Structure 1
Amino acid sequence: MISSQRAKSFSSILWKIRRFLNIGSEKRLQEAVGEIRGFANSIVRQKKQAMFQISQEFSPTEPGHSDEKFVTDIVISFILAGRDTTSAGLTWFFWLLHRNRHVEEEILREINKSRVKQKNKTQHFSVFEQVKDMVYINAAICESMRLYPPVPVDVKEAAANDVLPDGTKVKKGMWVGYLPYVMGRMESIWGRDWAEYRPERWLENTGKGKWKFVPKDPYSYPVFQAGPRVCLGKEMAFLQMKRVVSVILGMFRVVPAMEERFDPVFVPHLTSEMQGGFPVRIEQRTV
């Protein structure tokens, strides 16, 4: 939150002064960074110790393991880029599912089909195999992230002078921002029904009772960015979210523990949040 407030400030001079003097929000930021880095560093050291116990041939000077700071940075990247974004996406997904029961019913049908297929398998059925054919869940997740993207705003700095497709000139060092949150709600991109949560807009009926997933242009749907900057963890994120959704919904109902007319507030930071969190009741399915 403090990092995102830096970008929103009218001038960078004030926060740089606070950082130099180590006071106020910058002091709190350094304390938070220290706590996160300490946590990530403990993970790295525990892993190295476990590897050493497994194999006495492990050498502390081996490349890829000796630089604890580098490995710790990678762990922190996974925490920030993977954990926070995935949890944000799933929070809004379960909220939209509650508001659109017909989508939940279609997802349950897909989960049940996968279970039947799994029972008919004589060999080991991997996690990837369990979720790879769940195209409707994939579409439902894409549709929820269209309306509530985990990263609602993104900014790039021009490395060199450039010209945008519409003729706008961008000079080296300039910041160019785009808003996936706004783009996901533009009628010119998604049509008049842009406000409707409709996973079917991502699907094509093959005529055989099966859905085929049809991805959108990443430049119109930049939730995972596009081009050279596309998110490296995109496929892993979908695998994780589809797995979580299929396991939870296959066993439980996720019911908001709030008034029926409650309308959550979207809070855009570096990653999106639901103001006050999303309190729910978990009810076991009987059918």
Structure 2
Amino acid sequence: MLLWLGMACCSATAHAQAPDILLAHVYHEGIAVQDYLVSEKLDGIRAVWDGQQLTSRQGNPIHAPAWFIKDFPKQALDGELWIGRGQFEVLSSTVRQSTPEDAAWHKVAYYVFELPNAAGSFAQRASQIAALVKQAHTPTLKAITQFHVKDVAALKRTLDAVVAKKGEGLMLHRADARYITGRSQVLLKLKPQLDAEAKVIAHVPGKGKYQGKMGALLVETRQGIRFKLGTGFKDADRARPPPIGSMVTYTYRDVTKNGKPKFARFLRVRPPE
């Protein structure tokens, strides 16, 4: 029984090639926050615009309506499809339909935070993004607001304000950084709790009130670390658990010396891309 079986989405193909994009490290103390531009971390779906087509971070097409992208620039863009805070499930259902539903897509916008392969510093690219979005003059294309904070205390206050409004966290991008790809310290994410992804290896049978249902998931991280994920599930999740082989997102606070996450909690199934 596949949780995502039958969902019309931008399913993977044998020839899909993931775009080379910048990925963030986790924020750590000791950095000079004045050297970074800060923005809200959106809980959306990463998408790359190549001038003609939106694709997922795995390289699969995202079937946006023609009217949604008609005023996008021919220049490559990197950003996030987003509806609003706490709306990820609605967004996922909308974006992953192979036949787009106009009414649902009218709630979505593409928030741009990078210009792939563009010259100059990130601060300069952020200004270019703002200019491109203004020129496009369409409600479907937006620039993520970038700003400076004067110190760590101001950064933490900003984080608290975003989280209080049900936001996910903050992103910090070095203002002087040239465009690069891969996982880099020039881009950092700051959240009240960390999250990561793991593959479902097995369903652990439940006991007591969970008798006859899934009690926990045995999962494996990309680093090959296996652990049981047993909290954060709704009754519906336990009755119809994520299929073996699927990817799930979990939250955690820290890791042990052996690399296992502490206080791991199921967040959601990661939709196939």
| Structure 1 length-normalised TM | 0.23
Q: Flag the structure with higher strand content.
A: 2
The structure having more radius of gyration, on CA atoms, is 1
| Structure 2 length-normalised TM | 0.24
Higher relative contact order (CA 8 A, sep 6+): 2
Q: Flag the structure with higher helix content.
A: 1
